[in-house]
Amino acid sequence: MTFTQHKSQKNANTDFDAVIIGAGFSGLYMLYRLREAGFSVQAYDAAPDVGGVWYANRYPGAKCDSESIIYNYMFSEELYQEWTWSSRYPEQAEILSYLNYVADKFDLRRDIQFNTRMRAAHYDEVNNRWRLQTEDGTHITATYFITGVGNLSSSNIPKFKGLDSFEGDWYHTGHWPHEKVDFKGKRVGVIGTGSSGIQSIPVIAEEAGHLFVFQRTPGYCTPARNHAYDPEFIRQTKANYSEIKRQTRESATGYLHKLIHDRSALADSPEERQREYQKVWDRGGFGLGTTYNDLIINPTANETVAEFIRSKIGETVKDPKTAELLKPTYYFAAKRPVLDTNYYETYNRDNVTLVDVKSAPITEITPKGIKTTEEEYALDILVFATGYDAMTGPLFKIDIRGKDGISLKEKWAGGPQTRTYLGIANAGFPNMFMITGPESPSSLSNVPVSIEQHVEWIGDCLEYLREHGITTIEAKAEAEEAWSAHCREVADATLYTKTDSWYTGANIEGKPRGFLIYVGGVGAYRKICDEVAAKGYEGFSLTPTSAKETIS
Ligand code: NA7
């Protein structure tokens, strides 16, 4: 398949109804939705083309953990029928091809300015306009400012002493070069064993002379069992378009799998539990967490599934010391679990060594490699699979300022939590919307489902404002307080908040701890947002064009 090659074009116009930041899943659909509704709209992206994180994440083995048939847009049945995924889990290149296809089909690039990083977005209260500035100094104005910057797009490169002195090549998984990195015969170090590390380690190991994996915290992995799609399965899936769309939108997490047994894991005998976990394990994919209804809320129930996975690690990894190091001890799923292909088996290779940097932390990067408190490892290539400053990081890359010049960073400083209304809007930041912002289901859901819900809600909202002659919409402080408190309350009833992870901000030094995701369920959240809209945007202040009076 070939796609139109596009040169980045600078739009001479600099005044719009809406400006969107980002040309990934969020930005592309938001652009389409608003353009269809007749708004003048322009998207900006720092990358040279569409794709967002799927443009940047090109590391070996990069793929999505959501099944292909639901990791796509559902807003256009025509698009759903036209596009055919090749296998159960989509690889980065295929997702990028898909987003290129979408951009071509809907002719989106004509309203996207690439190679353009937005430096600042300031709300001008006197004129009720957003004033934006790109890094090259261009000034842009818009009524509405919409962020589609992704939740995992701001790389975390730990500040190790001596990185500048490293004489080999180093890469972060989230900003991988376009040309192939040659690992052949090289001594390679991978720091990090989250999704990116776990996906790339087996692939790099195949090629490297020797691979050293520097692990601080092991992951819980379940087999992906990826396979090519059968044409009959594709035919049935396409025939079920409406039902798939409904189910994912009403589900708890945006996936098709449902709770398997609506009872406690502790209600079954150990033998019954083993059988149930084994069935899910054999099917592959996410699903273990949905075997029983209390796995993410009850520590004792959680331990049963955690121990099941540990036993699988023990059975797979031949060296007992390595197997022990690979066994996680925190609550299963409280930190993002990972789907793997040959991950544990990789540790049976002679050219792979697991280095425990929990007990012997990395002290510095030297010209020749990595030094821990115990040993120095000579390396030719260093791979940082060290994750992201999640949720808030991508927003903080832009100097976003609302009323009285207060920045979003200042507003959210001091923790313990971001403060948003529905994860979409912020008090003090009129006419600004965040797609999959903090305190929405975002990263704890099949993200395209959450993106579509936000885009459609924002699109409907802007149409409502236009129809009603309203020029300013702003979340009320009390509505925001109540939403943040609700988010905390729901999260505190789970094990998510009892474990350090990027969900809580704990992976970034100095970041305030909170819980940045709404875990009340994708379907339940949709209902809340729809009710807010149905009640004339309850919790927002709306200011009409002519009157200075505010409708509350
Ligand atoms: P993750 O899941 O945040 O993983 C990052 C890994 O890097 C994790 O194992 C970290 O250990 C490790 N890390 C981070 N800093 C250090 C230092 N200083 N020393 C040693 N090890 C370190 O990022 P991914 O890119 O893998 O995945 C991100 C998401 O993308 C994923 O969840 C999917 O939603 C898609 P730690 O656990 O903090 O001890």
**Tens of pLDDT, residues 44-57:** 999 999 999 999 99
Residue 2 lies in a domain: no
At residue 257 the predicted structure's pLDDT band, cuts being 50, 70 and 90, is confident
Which two three-digit tokens encode residue 477? 């402080």
Whether residue 186 contacts residue 477, with contact meaning beta carbons closer than 8 Å, is answered with no
Residue 502 lies in a domain: yes
Quick one: pLDDT at residue 514? 86
Q: State the distance between the two ends of the chain, measured CA to CA, in whole angstroms.
A: 52
Q: Is a pLDDT exceeding 60 seen at residue 350?
A: yes
Residue with CA at minimum distance from ligand 1 atom 12: 192
Residue 6 covered by a domain: no
Does residue 179 register a pLDDT over 60?
yes
Residue 449 domain-assigned (yes or no) = yes
pLDDT at 167 over 90: yes
Q: Which domain holds residue 266?
A: 257-330
CA of 97 to the centre of ligand 1 (A): 27
Residues 202 and 286 in one domain: no
d(CA 226, CA 103): 27
32 burial class (0-12, 13-18, 19+ CB within 10 angstroms)? Answer: buried
Cα 272–275–281 angle (5° rounding)? 145
If asked whether residues 382 and 402 sit together in one domain, one would say no
Residue 4 — very low, low, confident or very high, per pLDDT cuts 50/70/90? very low
Is 43 in a helix, a strand, or coil?
strand
275 in the same domain as 287: yes
Strands 129-134 and 139-147, sheet pairing = antiparallel
Cα–Cα distance list, 236 to 80, 90, 257 (Å): 13, 19, 17
Q: What's the structural domain count of the chain?
A: 3
Residue 188 parent element (H or E): strand 187-191
Interval 212-224 mean pLDDT: 98
**Tokens at 271, concatenated:** 């033998």
Please report which helix (H) or strand (E) contains residue 368, including its range. none
Around Cβ 481, how many Cβ atoms within 10 Å?
13
In a domain, 364, yes or no: yes
Statement: residue 470 has pLDDT above 50: yes
Going by CA atoms, what residue is nearest to atom 36 of ligand 1?
217
Closest C-alpha residue for ligand 1 atom 37: 217
Q: What average pLDDT is seen over the chain?
A: 95
Q: Indicate whether 293 and 422 sit together in one domain.
A: no
Radius of gyration for the alpha carbons in the chain, expressed in angstroms and rounded: 24
What's the CA-to-centroid distance between 191 and ligand 1, angstroms?
Answer: 8
| Residue to substitute in 336, 338, 355 for testing ligand 1 pocket (most ligand atoms within 8 angstroms of CB) | 336
Token pair 């776990």: residue: 198
**Which residues, in sequence order, are CB contacts of 541 under 8 Å at separation 6+?**
472, 473, 474, 475, 476, 550, 551, 552
- Supply the DSSP string of 258-294, one letter for each residue: --S-SS-GGGS-HHHHHHHHHHHHHH-SS-GGGSSTT
Residues 184 and 303 in one domain: no
pLDDT digits (tens, 9 = 90+) for 286-342: 999 999 999 999 999 999 999 999 999 999 999 999 999 999 999 999 999 999 999
What is the distance between the alpha carbons of residues 141 and 17, in angstroms, rounded to a whole number? 8
- Tell me, yes or no, whether 56 lies in a domain: yes
State whether 408 and 517 are in the same domain: yes
Residue 548 predicted with pLDDT over 70: no
Final residue of a structural domain among 282, 297, 330: 330
Span from the CA of 239 to the centroid of ligand 1 (angstroms): 39
Cα of 171 vs centre of ligand 1, distance in Å, is 14
53 close to 62: Cβ distance less than 8 angstroms:
no
Same-domain pairing of 289 and 349 = no
Say yes or no: 446 and 509 in one domain: yes
114 backbone dihedrals φ, ψ, rounded to 5° = -85, 180
Residue 551 lies in a domain: no
- The residue ranking higher by pLDDT, 84 or 504, is 84
Residues 534, 425 share a domain:
yes
pLDDT on residue 416: 61
Q: Which two tokens stand for residue 348?
A: 């049976």
Query: Taking a C-beta distance cutoff of 8 angstroms, is the pair 154, 397 a contact?
Result: yes
Kindly state whether residue 238 falls inside one of the protein's structural domains. Answer: no
The number of the ligand 1 atom at minimal distance from the alpha carbon of 386 is 7
CB 487 within 8 A of CB 439: yes
CA angle in degrees (0–180, nearest 5) for 90-91-92: 120
Ligand 1 centroid from CA 391, angstroms? 14
Mean pLDDT of 532-550: 84
Q: Which of 387, 420, 452 delimits the end of a domain?
A: 387
Strands 362-365 and 369-372, bridge-based pairing: antiparallel
User: How far does the centroid of ligand 1 lie from the alpha carbon of residue 200, in Å?
Assistant: 13
Tokens of 198: 């776990």
Q: Which of 507, 508, 509, 511 is the pocket-test mutation for ligand 1 (most atoms within 8 Å of CB)?
A: 507
pLDDT in tens, 371-421: 999 999 999 999 999 999 999 999 999 999 999 999 999 999 876 678 999
Are residue 359 and residue 483 in the same domain, yes or no? Answer: no
Residues 301-317, buried b or exposed e (16+ Cβ, 10 A)? bbbbbbbbbbebbeebb
Ligand 1 site, CB within 6 A:
152, 158, 173, 191-197, 214, 216-217, 336, 357, 362, 385-388, 443, 502, 507
The pLDDT, as a whole number, for residue 2 is 37
Atom nearest to 195 CA in ligand 1? 26
pLDDT of residue 551: 52
Higher pLDDT, 414 or 183: 183
Give the pLDDT of residue 509.
87
Q: What is the pLDDT of residue 415?
A: 67
Residues 409, 526 share a domain: yes
Tell me what pLDDT residue 7 has.
46
Give the integer Cα–Cα distance in Å for 433 and 451.
12
Going by CA atoms, what residue is nearest to atom 33 of ligand 1?
Answer: 195
Handedness of CA 102, 460, 515, 264 (dihedral sign): negative
pTM: 0.96
470 and 374 in a single domain? The answer is no
CATH code: domain of residue 509: 3.50.50.60
Mean pLDDT lowest among 128-137, 246-255, 504-513 = 504-513
> Above 60 in pLDDT, residue 265?
yes
Domain end: 330, 347, 374, which one?
Answer: 330
**What residues have CB less than 8 Å from 53, skipping those under 6 apart?**
24, 150, 152, 153, 174
Cα three-residue angle 24-159-212, rounded to 5 degrees:
85
